[in-house]
Structure 1
């Protein structure tokens, strides 16, 4: 499966480089779009989950890298839960 990288910008301006095991993440995240924190987390969880399932369909097992990436995103997002109107922007998908 083609690995897809995506960069996102957190509400404090920091950038996180992320990986998906499938290009399907492009169906869930849009370059240039600003998401509310809750919307971003929902899209990222669904997208990485779908990517992992595509790996399962092809190879017979889920992708632990997708689960690990989701965990890193979730942990990082905890820093911004108390920030009013926190936004996450997708900078790049390649």
Structure 2
């Protein structure tokens, strides 16, 4: 199961490198796009839950790292207005075939 990272810039200009145990993030976020904080939290949380479910299906337990990443995103997001924007800077690795 390929894992990935996605780098984001928060509304205050700080950047963070985030982890996902699955490439499913590409189904929810796009590099170079901006999302209102509330939308980013919803999209990333849904994707991280899907990623954890994939780990559970394969290994019999969810992914603690995905849960921790979701908690960190929610904690950081709580400092910003829901309408402020988060920018997705990079997603690595890209989808096979360069579709990302």
Kindly report the root-mean-square deviation, in angstroms, between the aligned alpha carbons of the 2 structures: 1.0
Moved over 3 A (4+): none
Q: Show structure 1 runs of 5+ residues with no match.
A: none
Counterpart CA distance in 2 for 1:37 and 1:78 is 9
Paired residue total: 92
Q: Which structure has more helix as a fraction of its residues?
A: 1
Task: Work out whether 1:45 is the aligned partner of 2:45.
Answer: yes
- How does the TM-score come out when normalised to structure 1? 0.94
Counterpart CA distance in 2 for 1:58 and 1:92 is 27
Q: Show structure 2 runs of 5+ residues with no match.
A: 93-100
Counterpart CA distance in 1 for 2:49 and 2:29 is 13
Mapping for residues 47-66 of structure 1, pairs under 5 Å: 47-66=47-66
- How does the TM-score come out when normalised to structure 2? 0.88
